[in-house]
Amino acid sequence: MSETGKRKLFFIFLCLAALAAAGISWAEGGFGGGRGGLKQGLAYFADSYACPGTPVHVELLNYGLFSQPSFTWQADGETVGQDAPAYTPDEGDLGKMLTVTVRADGYEEVSLSLFCSRLPVLYVDVEDGAAVATKKDYQNASYVLQGAGEYRKYQYEGETQIKGRGNTSWLLEKKPYKLKLEEKENLLGMGDNRHWVLLANDTDPSLMRNTLSFQAAGEMGLVSMKTCWVELVLNGKYEGNYQLCQQIRPGEDRVPVTDLEEIAHQAAQECVNREMIAPEYLEELKETLENDLSWLTSRTFRFHETDYQLPADFSVPAITGGFILEIDEYFDEPSRFETSRQQPVMFHSPVNAWSNLELMDYAMYYVQAIEDAIYAPDHHTEWQGASVHYSDLIDMDSLVKYWLVSEFFCNEDLGKKSVYLYKDTEGKAYMGPVWDMDWSSGGSENTRKYDQWATLAFSSGAQQFMWYKELVKDPGFLERAHALYHEYRYIFEEMVSDGGTIDQYYDYLYESGIANDGRWNTDGAFVREVQEVLKPWLQNRLAWMDRQFQSLQSLSASLNPQEGSSGAEAAQ
């Protein structure tokens, strides 16, 4: 052997020794192992995404120097290629898991997997391969998010925490999840944030209802959470089609209210900057101030058995807003209250509003004033010494637009749960964002009829006294609803027309919908739900609503039928 060859061989042995010292072997998860099966030991996928027509390559580190490796490529267990370190997927591979197995004498065989899709693919690997078993406690995990199509430029890899989420949806077989990233990321162009949710859409085989309603609300000008469909691979196993979605939180590109929890973090940082608290206690202090918000009004806090005063020049916002509230009959958040008409209201943010009685009282009295004005004969009430109309307290257009979206989809949960409103430290309250619309538009037993008003048809629990039952009696509300329906009707028309939004989404999601059906044993459900339920139901719904909205008089007659008739009969 030449001297050059000896030096190369010596260098290789040094590398292998370093790997061994680091505890990395061929079959272990070194070099990013635990990343959704994309890297394993000394092998990894050189290409970030699997899509038809583009070769996928396997790269090997130090492998093949002593032995010639062999490669077997499979798509969902069926062999599709051999003896080459690259494979080019075709259309038939969409919605399938591509696996390459590499073998060579003297090495343990290793298998890498990559999901083939038109959609972005999210790989999440929980520490120790553990199942996500609770929605209470986070579990450490790593993630890789690979963009596709219009999202191809977006690629992410990092650490996260994951836990379950939802109420009814958490009890279903296909689980929804909450992600808290280690660092803020602009996932798929939806804005920098650490907090994201994965909606499972288990009860919606079309996979579309939430996305369609969110987008309709956004196009009307309501605050709306951005969302993208992804394929989820959890602990190496394909779990189906999910909605990666912004979590409802304060933020410039989310809900536009002052983030009181972020103010707590800023206050903690300022105390460290002023050397009031040692830097090593910063994270603990952030948590302390976030959990106990009494300092917002007292400007004092207690930390490690010592009382502190906030710096005099640190600006603290007024407690006249900065909150996101949710009307929800689960009534299971730590900060909550009921109105005089039994509307269960919870603080979605800040979660620990209960720790500041002034903040709790302000929100409680403000919401009560809205309700009192809605139910008053002249729709006025007294607020802070003045007589005000309900539209002085909560934005009228947001009230109407929220109602129009909810009625177009005939949301079974309208007034029952997942009904959000928000208020900043100045100005009025606003309705939104629209959320949790999977039980709508013919997708549940109670919404099979397209010719009924959700406002009149549903009266379960908190819905008995939902505000909209009273608002539809107000000529002012109906007049604005009539005007805004005709202004924004084109959004609904574009959705249901041939070649429109639903048809476009159907084509985009087709392979993913089929794969999701296969994962959850709902053979054919995606195609049937879109073609036989969702689209025709919404087409019929739009035609029915057009008849109700022919005139202000027909709208009023439909929503306020004579005793013994129904809203479905009043304006046929």
Residue-level pLDDT at 33? 38
Per-residue model confidence as pLDDT tens digits over 401-430: 999 999 999 999 999 999 999 999 999 999
The pLDDT-based confidence of 63 (bands split at 50, 70, 90) is low
The pLDDT-based confidence of 61 (bands split at 50, 70, 90) is confident
Which residue do the tokens 């890297």 mark?
39
| Range scoring the smallest mean pLDDT among 6-20, 119-133, 290-304, 548-562 | 6-20
The SS3 assignment for 76 reads: coil
Residue-level pLDDT at 571? 41
Three-class DSSP labels, 323-365: EEEEECCCCCCCCEEECCCCCEEEEEECCCHHHCHHHHHHHHH
Q: How far is CA 450 from CA 381, 413, 559, in A?
A: 36, 16, 15
pLDDT at 34 over 80: no
Residue-level pLDDT at 24? 36
CATH annotation of 22-115: 2.60.40.2700
The pLDDT-based confidence of 16 (bands split at 50, 70, 90) is very low
Per-residue model confidence as pLDDT tens digits over 208-256: 999 999 999 999 999 999 999 999 999 999 999 999 999 999 998 999 9
For 145-148, which contacts have Cβ atoms below 8 Å and span 24 or more sequence positions? 145/120, 145/121, 145/187, 145/188, 145/230, 145/244, 146/48, 146/49, 146/120, 146/121, 146/122, 147/49, 147/120, 147/188, 148/49, 148/51, 148/117, 148/118, 148/119, 148/120, 148/121
DSSP H helices, 448-500, are: 454-457, 467-471, 475-496
For residue 499 the two structure tokens come to 């070649």
Section 40-54 average pLDDT: 83
> Which of 115, 88, 75, 98 shows the shortest CA–CA distance to 230?
115
Burial class (CB in 10 A: 0-12, 13-18, 19+), 70: middle
The pLDDT-based confidence of 62 (bands split at 50, 70, 90) is low
Q: Which backbone phi and psi does 430 adopt, to 5 degrees? A: -135, 150
Domain ranges of the chain: 22-115, 121-246, 260-309
How many CA atoms are closer than 13 Å to the CA of 109, on its beta-carbon side? 9
| Rounded Cα–Cα distance for residues 100 and 174 (Å) | 28
- Asked if residues 399 and 389 have their Cβ atoms less than 8 Å apart, the reply is no
Which residue do the tokens 């009539």 mark?
482
For residue 454 the two structure tokens come to 């959700």
Q: Which residues of 157-172 are buried (b: 16+ CB within 10 A; e: fewer)?
A: beebbbbbbbeebeee
pLDDT at 566 over 80: no
- Asked if residues 433 and 547 have their Cβ atoms less than 8 Å apart, the reply is no
| Rounded Cα–Cα distance for residues 37 and 358 (Å) | 51
Which residue do the tokens 């006294």 mark?
465
Q: Within 10 A of 10 (CB to CB), how many other CB atoms are there?
A: 10
Instruction: List the Cα angle 380/560/382 in 5-degree steps.
Output: 5
Q: What percent of the chain has pLDDT over 90?
A: 83
Residue-level pLDDT at 372? 98
Q: Which backbone phi and psi does 531 adopt, to 5 degrees? A: -80, -35
β strands within 304-461, DSSP E = 306-309, 323-327, 336-338, 344-349, 380-383, 386-389, 419-423, 429-431
Q: Which backbone phi and psi does 198 adopt, to 5 degrees? A: -115, 105
Section 298-314 average pLDDT: 97
- Asked if residues 343 and 465 have their Cβ atoms less than 8 Å apart, the reply is yes
Section 338-364 average pLDDT: 97
Which residue do the tokens 């059906």 mark?
517
- Asked if residues 54 and 88 have their Cβ atoms less than 8 Å apart, the reply is yes
Q: What percent of the chain has pLDDT over 70?
A: 90
For residue 462 the two structure tokens come to 């908190």
Residue-level pLDDT at 105? 80
Which tops the pLDDT comparison, 18 or 307?
307
The gap between the terminal CA atoms of the chain, to the nearest Å, is: 93
Chain centroid, CA 127 distance in Å: 23
For residue 264 the two structure tokens come to 């707590």
Section 466-485 average pLDDT: 98
For the chain, the average pLDDT equals 91
- Asked if residues 453 and 425 have their Cβ atoms less than 8 Å apart, the reply is no
Q: Within 10 A of 32 (CB to CB), how many other CB atoms are there?
A: 14
Query: The dihedral of CA 89, 244, 400, 531: what is its sign?
Result: positive
Per-residue model confidence as pLDDT tens digits over 245-303: 999 999 989 999 999 999 999 999 999 999 999 999 999 999 999 999 999 999 999 99
Bond prior to 52 in cis (omega within 30° of 0): no
The pLDDT-based confidence of 66 (bands split at 50, 70, 90) is low
| Rounded Cα–Cα distance for residues 458 and 499 (Å) | 33
